Amino acid sequence: MTTVTARIPDDWPATEERARAVQDGLRARVVLDEPGPPPGTGRVTGVDVAYDDERDVVAAAAVVLDAATLDVVAEATAVGRISFPYVPGLLAFREIPAVLAALDALPCPPGPIVCDGYGRAHPRRFGLASHLGVLTGLPTIGVAKNPFTFTYDDPGTARGSTSPLLAGAEEVGRAVRTREGVKPVFVSVGHRMSLDNACAHTLALAPAYRLPETTRRADALCREALRSATYPA
């Protein structure tokens, strides 16, 4: 496995005002009219991030799986300084530099990317999955553990049941039951993927647990990278 150092770009936003302006500019580039590749084909990659705020260190992981077997094909991690303060709705600015560095360190194309977070299900309709999709050009999906500020009716108890995740009358994602009788996950489109297909990918990636294998494995790997990080020296 490769571990690299994540660098904060010189032009990275330093203020909330500037970060929101960047979101506004990039949001117009999100592609919502492509279905995306079918689940269970090619490769799919999970990304996740862990923090040590006391040391001002962030670790990101990218784990590539064979979409049919869910076997690990490749892994990479990146460690660096935290690139932005904690501000709800602007978390992508804390995570993107490290995630991009981990993706760049992979030895193979990642295929669609599954983020532990949000895409369209975001107050400004531009969460981490959308941000990452626009910057990489890859199909992306957000799969979150909670509904953020949005509302939903509890889906049916059977695996595969769904219900709309709503901002008023607007469907910004779906609650998806990945295990019978277990709390749903919250799926939203990031970039170049339909919501129906994003939900199908999520179910295909979660045959045994509530969270997709992409998220489970990336979460474990970034936490391991953070524990062993010697950055900063």
**Bind-site residues for Mg(2+):** 48, 116
Q: How far apart are CA 70 and CA 133, in angstroms?
A: 22
Helix axes of 128-136 and 92-104: crossing angle, nearest 10 degrees: 40
Binding site residue list: 48, 116
Q: How far apart are CA 113 and CA 106, in angstroms?
A: 13
Query: Can you tell me whether residue 151 is helix, strand or coil?
Result: strand
In total, the chain counts a number of residues equal to 233
Residue 192 gets the label, from left (phi > 0), alpha (psi -120 to 50) or beta, of left
Backbone angles phi, psi at 18, to 5 degrees: -70, -40
First CA to last CA distance, the chain: 21
The amino acid occupying position 138 is L
E-only strand ranges, the chain: 2-6, 43-52, 57-66, 72-81, 113-115, 140-144, 162-167, 170-176, 185-191
